Amino acid sequence: MAANDIYEEIMQCIADGDEDWARELAQKGLDEGVSPLDLIENGFTPALRAVGERWDTGSIFLPEMILSADAMKAAVRVLQPALQEAGGGAHDMKTCVVGTVKGDIHDIGKSIVGALVEASGLAVIDLGTNVETELFVNAVRERGSCVIGLSALLTTTMVEMKIVLDELAKAGLRNQVRVAVGGAPVTQAFADEIGADGYAEDGMSAMHLIQELAAGLDPAPGESMSKVA
């Protein structure tokens, strides 16, 4: 059957981390009349999950995992318009906004967390490093309900996390979001103190934490993916 063939190809292409091929396969699937939701749920998502498992057990390396996640992202972009047209499913894909707080240019930990969260099936918006507080607030305004992952590697910039939380509260957005924090000097105690919703020490636990926090978000259909498109 055509659909089965294409799922096998998707499996392979995500394992290879081949963006171009992923785009082609997404288009080919649509052309052959497979529903975009099926392509995601039975094709790309299980393929990426398989890659994640291999990474978890140490049989592939982080750069391979990240390439696979990027290939998936590329495919989803191709499927997006069709998904919206169909009006169903993936637009309640939960979003996670990540960024390193103002004054801090440590990039690596935040980017790894972003890649892993993306691989776990959330939509990720990476605001980069040295991110002005306002940009986090704006992202929530645009996206609506989401998880925010704040990273800080310096004792001087940890305080910025509290400021982001305060500003979200001031803007009346605090209860629409779940905020996770991390980075070398950050601790669970600090997270509690500033009223964040969670803390994780490394990439894997960060991914699980953010998945959990995302699961706790109110499903806000029509508020996430579709709104920005």
Instruction: Write out the residues near other proteins by the rule CB under 8 A.
Output: 55, 58, 61-63, 105, 108-109, 112, 155-157, 159, 184-185, 187, 202-203
Q: Which two tokens stand for residue 9?
A: 């190809």
Would you list the DSSP string of 95-117?
EEEEEEBTT----HHHHHHHHHH
Q: At what angle do helices 133-143 and 158-170 cross, to 10 degrees?
A: 40
Tokens 């390439």 label which residue? 67
Q: Which of 64, 107, 166, 212 binds ligand B12 (CB under 6 A)?
A: 107
184 lines the binding site for ligand B12 (CB under 6 A): yes
Of 43 and 203, which CB lies nearer to other proteins in the complex structure? 203
Q: How far is the CB of 207 from ligand B12 (least distance, A)?
A: 8
Give the strand pairing for 198-199 and 146-151: unpaired
Count of other CB atoms within 10 angstroms of residue 61: 10
Of 47 and 150, which CB lies nearer to ligand B12 in the complex structure? 150
Q: Scan residues 3-62 and list those touching ligand B12 (CB under 6 A).
A: none
Give contact residues for ligand B12 (rule: CB under 6 A).
Answer: 103-110, 112-113, 149-151, 153-155, 180-185, 200, 202-203, 206, 209
